[in-house]
């Protein structure tokens, strides 16, 4: 708990200083996220070094125990083995292989939250007076596509090389795909508003993504293609 409190205080301090200097939301977000990720990494290292507590390993062990118990129950109920194996692969990918990707996503989400809270608490700071672009205008820097492609390259290389190539690639692609998914949604919202369609359609979009996961890949692809096609003509 002490480590968590210190990390939160550090992130808030970094964001407060950026707001004081008048930095943009993007800069605050990047610095806050890096601080949080470093804080978590250092905390895990200290726990492992000082107390021989490896939280990542403990999490994997608990995951395996829970999965064994769950699989046993579903087999007793007559669940097809092929479907169980497929579900296990997906669960292991999301909860084990992508754990560092989730840390990055958590860091970015937490930094965004802290930023918005501090803008409300300290409205007189220079950075607090800067407006954040509306969601429908969100973009990702063009250079990020190269990082996404590098992640895909690592995944491909991992098919022939042993080591951490695949894990690194999966985490990079996972984090950036979430960003591109948000950009894809922003593009859809942009054209919904441009056509003056009711907000009801926005809920339909979110509802469809939640209950029809296959659409996530299509919307993410829309965000990725925005790098070159520039759907909203925002990039000059």
pLDDT in tens, 125-164: 888 888 888 888 888 888 899 999 999 999 888 877 766 8
pLDDT digits (tens, 9 = 90+) for 179-220: 999 999 999 999 998 888 878 888 998 999 989 888 999 999
Query: What percentage of the chain has pLDDT greater than the value 70?
Result: 97
The secondary structure of the chain as a DSSP string is -HHHHHHHHHHHHHHHHHHHHT--HHHHHHHHHHHHHHHHHHHHHHHHHHH---HHHHHHHHHHHHHHHHHHHHHHTT--HHHHHHHHHHHHIIIIITHHHHHHHHHHHHHHHHHHHHHHH-TTSGGGGSPPPPGGG----TTHHHHHHHHHHHHHHTTTS-SSHHHHHHHHHHHHHHHHHHHHHHHHHHHHHHTT--THHHHHHHHHHHH-THHHHHHHHHHHHHHHH-TTS---
What is the structure's pLDDT at 2? 67
Average pLDDT in the chain: 85
Domain range summary for the chain, segments of one domain joined by +: 133-236
């Amino acid at each position: 708990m002490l480590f968590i409190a210190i990390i939160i205080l550090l992130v808030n301090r970094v964001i407060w200083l950026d707001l004081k200097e008048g930095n943009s939301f993007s800069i605050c977000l990047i610095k806050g996220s890096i601080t949080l990720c470093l804080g978590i990494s250092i905390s895990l290292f200290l726990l492992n070094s000082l107390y021989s507590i490896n939280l990542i390993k403990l999490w994997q062990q608990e995951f395996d125990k829970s999965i064994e118990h769950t699989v046993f129950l579903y087999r007793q109920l007559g669940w097809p083995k092929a479907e169980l194996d497929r579900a296990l692969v997906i669960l292991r990918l999301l909860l084990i292989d992508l754990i560092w990707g989730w840390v990055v996503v958590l860091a970015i989400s937490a930094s965004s939250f802290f930023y918005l809270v501090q803008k409300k608490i300290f409205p007189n700071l220079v950075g607090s007076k800067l407006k954040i672009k509306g969601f429908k205008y969100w973009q990702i820097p063009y250079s990020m596509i190269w990082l996404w492609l590098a992640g895909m390259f690592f995944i491909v290389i991992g098919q022939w090389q042993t080591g951490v190539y695949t894990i690194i690639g999966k985490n990079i692609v996972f984090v950036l795909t979430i960003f591109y998914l948000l950009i894809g949604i922003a593009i859809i919202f942009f054209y919904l508003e441009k056509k003056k369609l009711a907000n009801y359609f926005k809920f339909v979009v979110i509802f469809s993504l939640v209950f029809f996961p296959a659409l996530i890949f299509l919307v993410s692809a829309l965000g990725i293609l925005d790098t070159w096609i520039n759907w909203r003509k925002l990039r000059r």
